[in-house]
Structures are given as C-alpha cells and as structure tokens.
Amino acid sequence: MDSNSRKTPCKSEKAYCNILNEIEEGYFETDLQGNFTFFNHSMCRILGYPSEKLLGANYREFASKRTAKEMFQTYNRIFRTGEPVRIVDYEIKSRNDRRVVVELSSSMIRDIHDTPIGFRGIVRDITEKIQAEEEKEQLKLQLQQALRLEAVGTLAGGIAHDFNNILTSIQGYTSILKLRTGPSHPNYEKLTRIDDLIQNGADLTRQLLGFALGGKYEIKILNINTVMLHSLKMIPGIKENINIVEDYQNDLWMVEADRGQVEQSLLNLFTNAVHAMPDGGTLSVKTCNIHLDPDHSKNMDLPPGKYLEISIADTGIGMNHTTMQKIFEPFFTTKKMGRGTGLGLASTYGIIRNHHGKIMVSSRVGVGSTFTIYLPASSINTTTQMTTENDYAYGSENLLLIDNEQTILDIGKEILQELGYAVFTADSGEKALEIYKKHKDQIALVILDMIMPGMSGIETYHELKKINSELPIILDSGYNIETQAIINFMGEKDGFVQKPFNIKILSRKIRTLLDRLNRKTADP
C-alpha cells in the first residue's frame, strides 16, 4: 500500500502532548544514559517533582540502590535484545521519601537509521493496590494466628480446669489443717510451705486460664497510669543498669478492667524487656489516649472508638520474624530450661483480648522491641477503691454449697464450718433446688459451681433467683468459659470467686454479701 493513500489524519505534536498530559499513566523518554528528555504531567505527579527538576535528571536519582540496579539491568536487556520489557514492579523514591511502587513497561527509541538513541516507558502508580494487598495479607496472618491460639487455648483451658480442681482439693485440706493447728503448732510452717507451693501451681493455671479464656473476675474502673506505676515497682530481678523512662498522659481515660490481670500483663512485658537487656538498656513506658477512626480500627480488627494506647519498649536483643510469629503461643520460649515457661505473653495476649483490646509487637534484632496495647476506654469517669483486708471473715449463717465434685463439697463444707457457718451441700443443680425449696427460710447464701453436668450453673442460678430474687449467690469456676456471660447477668447481690479458692477471699466475699443484705433488710 502506498503511504500516500493513508487516510488517517495526522495529529499535530501539540495534540499528542495534550493527550499524553491527560492520561493517568506517567510517560517518559530518556537518552541512553537514562537522563529524562521528555515526560508528561502524570510522571511529575507520580514522582512528586516539578518538571524543571525532572528534565535532564537521571532515573537513578529517583530510585533506591536496589531499584537503580534492577532498572539498569532492565535497560541493558532492552538494549541488547531490542525487545520491549513489560510490567516490572519497582519501588521508587518519591519526594518526601514517600514509598511509591510502580509498574513499568519500557522499550527502545531509535532514530530513522534504526540506531538506538534512548528509552521510553509508561509508568503506573500501584502503591495503593500493593498496600491494600499487604494489609490484607497482614490481616490474614493475624486471623490465622488468632484461630491457632484459640484452638491451643481450648486445650490449655481444659488441662488447667482439671489441674485446678486437684489444687482446690489440696488447698482445701491444707486450709482445714491450718485453721485447726494455728501458728504455734510445729507443723504450721510446713503447711504454709505447702500453701505457697499450691500458690505457685495456682499461678501457673491462672496464667494458662488467662490465655485460654481470661475470665474477668473483678472488673473495676482503673487508671492505667496508677497500675503502671505500681507494676514497675514489682519487676523481679531489675538491676541498676536499666534506665526507666516514663511518659504518662495526664488526663488518661479510665478503663474497665481486672486490676490483677492488667498488672500481671504489664509485669510479664516488663520482665521480658528486662530479660532482653542483660547488659542494661532503656525501658520506656508510655500511655496516651487515642481515637481509632473506622479506617484505622478496621486494619487493627477493633471497633472504632476511644482507646488507651500503652507502649512498652526496650533496647534489648530484639526478635527475628520467626520468633515474633510464635511469641503469643503458650509454652513458646527461647529461654533456657528453668528460666521461662513461655506462658507470659500467652496469658498477656488472652487477658488483653478478653478486655476487648489488642496487643501488637514490632521488633528488630539487636535494636529492641516495642509492645503496644490498646484497651477500650470506659465511658464512666470515677475511680473505685480496692479493698485490702487480710483476715478470714467468720459467720454463723446457713449456706448452701453446690458442686458436682464430692471432694470439693466435703472440703468446702469443712472449711465453711470452721469459719462458723452451717452448711447444706448439693452435688447437682436439681438437688440444690430441692434443698433450697425446703430450707428457703434458713439458707442465707448460695455458693454455686458454674460448670456442672446436667442442670448447668447458669440454669441453677436462674431457677434459684426465680424462687428468691434477693438471694445472694457466689458463683465459682476454674474454667471461665462463661465468665463474661456471668458478669453480664450477675447482680449486685452476687459475687464470683475463682477456683482454686483462696479461703480468705471467699470468706470475705461471703461476709460482704451477707452484711450488705443484712444492712438492706435492717433499713426501713
């Protein structure tokens, strides 16, 4: 075909420039050395520089060392083969060091004699797409980890439950013996040692349960700054070569949380930080109020709203990626036998999750680690006092003790009798209802096991309340799968204790509830 017969109208150079400047993609031409000779508006926008800065500049100025090397290889290939190169992902340095990822397709420019004189290329900004993909991947990993931890949690919770029942029995018998012997008896000290050992065992199961289901037993309105100050004083094995830097927000919002559990979580983090700095370093703690907007909170898998941000940073040994992925798993430890059980972070994770919060970690080997906790802020603005009493509380009322385990009934009955109470026992919800109906006027308070075969603790609770809504009920459980549910329906007249029972706590709880009831009935 004769070229003169072409009917396509030829656009002016200006018209082509207009088209180029209107397209979304960046277009550029360079000489053989890679110096920009021509480009469109979008190219300037993507790189973030005005055209006078780009013209004559070399592509290397806008690329990291790695990208520059890769681009050099790409241009080399185009030059050698004459073939265009399609779509390669490059990370480039835009103005203000913003990370920009582009797709590039590039080809050779030749003069009329077919001699190569430069390169041309089209660049598409895919930063947002890449970021979205990365975020999605991150969320997927988080979800996988949460599911894995959930499964391990169920297992750990099951073991802790059985173990707790055994401890409860041992502790019960020890308490009876202690109550009977008194401090002057030659065996009293040994019994105290047994008590301490039981406490160690109970601490272990508490950590496990914290991880597994993390019951919130004693919800209070807390000022985290105060809890932080207190926990910092209790770090075991802290030496002078560790410098503590504190930065507390003054008007920090309150949280609704279990003080003991929050303290335990912070202490686990502080202890790990200290262990990570055997030759000393800086432990920085910080609290602040933050507002998570819907965008941010979605990425963090938390509902939007007001949160407290607590960060704990060390300048210690840091962690590599593989370690970081496992740290929240129970029994994962890199510490020598006998130094760590690997339950610290597992329980911290469970506790924070059960307070509807989130814990995150970032770390670099040789630089240090930062743990960041988010806890939802409370809408209530008052603080409540912790009660600190140290003694057994006695009484003489009639109590009804309900538990499906005979040993616990036997021990419980003996202990309560030692404390002065008269005790009815029932080994099932059904029997308990029978007894309560019969002795309704005598029974002043009920202690009820949450986990029972047949009629469950919750059902029994509701049935008893149907008969007498004023009846104080202390719920107990070692395995707190339903703790949240309990807290939701528990009334002011009721209480909760965790197995294995701390007899002092149980005795005081019984007394508090009974005294409250007596005051109420005495009031006109």
Ligand X SMILES: Nc1ncnc2c1ncn2[C@@H]1O[C@H](COP(=O)(O)OP(=O)(O)OP(=O)(O)O)[C@@H](O)[C@H]1O
Q: Is 314 in the site for ligand X (CB under 6 A)?
A: yes
- x/- letters, 365..404, toward ligand X (CB under 6 A): ----x-----------------------------------
Nearer to Mg ion, 37 or 271 (CB): 271
Which of residues 344, 376, 395, 495 is near Mg ion by CB under 5 A?
344
Q: Contact between 345 and ligand X (CB under 6 A)? A: yes
Pick the closer one to ligand X by CB: 156 or 474.
156
Find which of ligand X, Mg ion, none residue 334 binds, CB within 5 to 8 Å per kind: ligand X
Our CB check for ligand X shows the closer of 252 and 373 to be 373
Residue 413 to residue 54: CA distance in whole angstroms? 87
- Can you tell me which of 272, 311, 348, 369 binds Mg ion, judged by CB under 5 A? 272
Contacts of 82 (CB under 8 A, 6+ apart): 108, 116
Are the C-beta atoms of residues 317 and 366 closer than 8 Å to each other?
Answer: yes
How many positions of this chain bind ligand X (CB under 6 A)?
A: 23
Residue 332 in contact with ligand X, rule: CB under 6 A: yes
160 binds ligand X (CB under 6 A): no
Binding status of residue 507 toward Mg ion by CB under 5 A? no
**319 lies in the binding site for ligand X (CB under 6 A):** yes
Amino acid at 67: T
201 is a contact residue toward ligand X (CB under 6 A) = no
Q: Give the integer Cα–Cα distance in Å for 352 and 43.
A: 47
Q: Is 451 in the site for ligand X (CB under 6 A)?
A: no
Rounded least distance, CB 271 to ligand X, Å: 6
145 makes contact with ligand X (CB under 6 A): no
Nearer to ligand X, 69 or 335 (CB): 335
313 binds, among Mg ion, ligand X, none (CB under 5 to 8 A by kind): none
- Beta strands 422-426 and 398-402 are parallel
Of the pair 344, 500, the CB lying nearest Mg ion is at 344
- Which of Mg ion, ligand X, none has residue 67 at its interface (CB below 5 to 8 Å by kind)? none
Does the footprint of ligand X cover residue 323 (CB under 6 A)? yes
Q: Residue 487: what residue type?
A: I
- Give yes or no for a contact between 452 and 478, defined as CB atoms under 8 angstroms apart: no
> Binding segment for ligand X among 24-32, 64-72, 283-291, 310-318 (CB under 6 A)?
310-318
- Burial category of 282 from C-beta neighbours within 10 Å (exposed 0-12, middle 13-18, buried 19 and up): middle
Residue 316 within binding range of ligand X, rule CB under 6 A = yes
- Least distance to ligand X from the beta carbon of 348, Å? 7
**Residue located via tokens 């740290």:** 327
Length of the chain counted residue by residue: 524
Q: Which one, 322 or 488, has the nearer CB to ligand X?
A: 322
Place of tokens 């209107």: 22
Partner whose footprint covers residue 102, from Mg ion, ligand X, none (CB < 5 to 8 Å by kind): none
The least CB distance from residue 344 to Mg ion, in Å, is 3
- Identify which range of 153-161, 333-341, 441-449, 510-518 contacts ligand X by CB under 6 A: 333-341
Strands across the sheet containing 99-110 = 36-39, 26-31, 116-125, 99-110, 85-93
Could you tell me the smallest distance in angstroms from the CB atom of residue 274 to Mg ion? 10
Choosing from 273, 444, 474, 486, the residue that interacts with ligand X (CB under 6 A) is: 273
String of DSSP letters for 202-219: HHHHHHHHHHHT----SE
Closest CA to 266 of 376, 186, 352: 352
CB-count exposure of residue 26 (10 Å: 0-12, 13-18, 19+) = buried
By CB under 5 A, tell whether 284 contacts Mg ion.
no
Residue from 212, 276, 399, 432 binding ligand X (CB under 6 A): 276
Tokens of 357: 């919060």
Which residues in 272-378 belong to E strands, given as ranges? 281-292, 305-314, 358-364, 368-376
CA angle 145, 478, 464 (to 5 degrees): 120
Q: Is 334 in the site for ligand X (CB under 6 A)?
A: yes
Task: Count Cα neighbours of 474 within 13 Å in the Cβ-side half-sphere.
Answer: 23
Distances in Å between the Cα of 119 and the Cα atoms of 36, 89, 103, 106, 405 are 9, 17, 16, 7, 83
341 lies in the site for ligand X, by CB under 6 A: yes
- Pairwise CA distance, residues 85 & 103, whole Å: 11
Establish if 42 lies at the interface with Mg ion (CB under 5 A).
no
Residue 311 binds ligand X (CB under 6 A)? no
- List contacts with Mg ion (CB under 5 A): 272, 344
- List contacts with ligand X (CB under 6 A): 268, 272-273, 276, 314, 316-319, 323, 327, 332-335, 340-346, 369
